[in-house]
């Protein structure tokens, strides 16, 4: 596939992850990758009580690096993961999570932050990386995508003028053909950012499980206090806090419960 159709080539190489050949799923994966994936997927439970075991730093770093492989809209990666290593800050975050056991007993805590406000900063970084620091000219379709289409979708202003332009434009264009409907307004942009951060969160938890550690996502927390602890700007929003460590059996509050396949999966 040429750069024109696959503009975001080798981001993993750029990130220093899986350097070398791109890994592609193929027919051998059902035997090689699937067993490990199923094991990690099923082992990932929300465990709320951890023992005193520490997680080696290199494992934490590897899991966090894995999280960065989560997909994101336009690859803008509008999230940040705060690995809370400072003991005082960790206590504050635990307190902001109401000292619930999953927070209080955690070996490590990661705050997942939605950073929709960073879309343009990240866009510039992305273009810089893809153009190899401005040396390589981007294919026109990619250049247009990042310099025309993405700003048209993402740009906002205090008075909502861009939102209004978008609303009219999306509605008009959508009259005759399929057209993107969101994000239009502030709420849409917030949702957009939380989508990206949540995908990173889930990728992180799966990686933690694959590395042999438990985790618990926490939405039961005071995001405003956590923002203060982390010194985050007003526009940043805490999506969730993830605790991790070596979980105890009693940290699983019962067997896994799920709704039925037909409740959630609709074949149309
Ligand atoms: C966004 C989000 C917020 C959550 N918040 C909390 C929380 O504050 N405290 C908690 O003990 N569990 C929390 N959970 C864990 C859920 O209760 C748990 O995922 C669910 O019961 C399914 O169990 P499982 O994760 O073991 O499969 C949260 C999960 C998600 C996805």
CA–CA distances in Å: residue 62 to residues 67, 98, 158: 9, 29, 39
**Domain 48-117+161-251, CATH 1.10.3720.10 — does that match?**
no
Atom nearest to 97 CA in ligand 1: 8
In this predicted structure, the answer to whether residue 119 has a pLDDT above a threshold of 70 is yes
- Which pLDDT tens digit goes with each residue over 229-268? 999 999 999 999 999 999 999 999 999 999 999 999 999 9
Q: Give mean pLDDT, residues 78-94.
A: 98
In this predicted structure, the answer to whether residue 98 has a pLDDT above a threshold of 70 is yes
Q: Where are the domains of the chain?
A: 48-117+161-251, 121-160
In angstroms, the CA 186 to CA 162 distance is 11
CB distance 256 to ligand 1 below 6 Å: yes
- Which pLDDT tens digit goes with each residue over 166-184? 999 999 999 999 998 999 9
Residue 62 CA to ligand 1 centre (angstroms): 23
Going by the DSSP 8-state scheme, the letter that residue 46 receives in this structure is B
Q: pLDDT band at residue 9, thresholds of 50, 70 and 90?
A: very low
The pick from 46, 47, 255 for probing ligand 1's pocket by mutation, whose C-beta has the most ligand atoms within 8 angstroms, reads 46
Q: Which residues contact 174 (CB under 8 A, 6 or more apart)?
A: 181
pTM of the model: 0.92
């Amino acid at each position: 596939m040429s750069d024109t159709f696959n503009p975001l080539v080798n981001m993993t190489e750029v990130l220093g992850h899986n350097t070398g050949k791109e890994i592609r799923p193929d027919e051998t994966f059902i035997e090689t990758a699937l067993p490990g994936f199923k094991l990690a997927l099923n082992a990932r439970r929300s465990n709320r009580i951890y023992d005193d075991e520490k997680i080696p730093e290199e494992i934490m770093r590897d899991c966090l690096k894995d999280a960065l492989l989560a997909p994101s809209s336009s690859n803008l990666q509008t999230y940040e993961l705060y690995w809370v290593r400072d003991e005082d800050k960790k206590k504050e975050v635990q307190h902001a999570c109401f000292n619930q056991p999953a927070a209080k007993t955690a070996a490590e805590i990661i705050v997942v932050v939605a950073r929709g406000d960073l879309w343009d900063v990240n866009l510039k970084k992305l273009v810089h990386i893809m153009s190899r620091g401005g040396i390589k000219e981007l294919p026109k379709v990619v250049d247009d995508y990042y310099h025309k289409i993405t700003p048209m979708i993402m740009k906002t202003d205090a008075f909502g003028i861009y939102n209004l332009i978008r609303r009219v434009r999306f509605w008009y264009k959508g009259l005759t053909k399929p057209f993107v409907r969101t994000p239009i307004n502030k709420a849409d942009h917030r949702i957009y950012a939380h989508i990206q951060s949540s995908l990173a969160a889930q990728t992180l938890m799966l990686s933690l499980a694959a590395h042999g550690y438990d985790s618990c996502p926490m939405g039961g927390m005071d995001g405003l206090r956590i923002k203060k602890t982390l010194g985050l700007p007003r526009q940043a929003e805490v999506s969730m806090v993830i605790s991790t460590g070596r979980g105890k059996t009693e940290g699983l509050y019962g067997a896994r419960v799920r709704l039925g396949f037909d409740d959630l999966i609709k074949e149309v």
